[in-house]
Amino acid sequence: MPKYMLIMRGTDEVAAKAQEMPFEEILDLMGRYNDQLIRAGVLVAAEGLEDASKGVVVDFTGETPVVTDGPYGETKELFGGFYILDVASQEEAVTWAKRLPVFPGMKIEIRRVPGIDEFPQDNKWIIQEREWRERTGQL
């Protein structure tokens, strides 16, 4: 089955609302959702991200990369976390995304994750990656 990534994106305002909610309540909401994914057998991975102010950006717009510490100042959207689901179709991924407990103003971007079998199998880097995936139990 194909894999789909649900990318949780919010604004500064959404992040501020999340800060107002008790952390235990957020854990409960997300835990119940994660449990549904696990019981359905579709969850591959799920991770939330630390506050953007603690991150860095590597900017490649100039000749050499420039590293900038957070906070980033005004942002339109922040990448807050992701899920990877092993589902039959984009429509099924959309169905799961609609059930995700999020704050008003948040967006969930859904993108298919191509499998290694979709790349040229005679490429030395694909061969090396396939061997690594087999060694580590990912294939």
pLDDT (0 to 100) of residue 71: 63
Nearest CA to 108 among 122, 99, 97, 93? 97
The pair of three-digit structure tokens given for residue 8, joined into one six-digit string = 């949780």
Ranges assigned E (strand) in 49-133: 56-59, 66-69, 78-86, 107-113
Question: Tens place of pLDDT for every residue, the chain, 139 residues?
Answer: 789 999 998 887 888 888 888 989 989 999 999 999 999 999 999 998 887 778 888 889 999 998 988 766 556 777 889 999 999 999 999 999 999 998 888 899 999 999 999 999 999 999 999 999 999 998 8
Q: Which CATH number fits domain 3-135: 1.10.150.130, 3.40.50.300, 3.50.50.60, 3.30.70.1060?
A: 3.30.70.1060
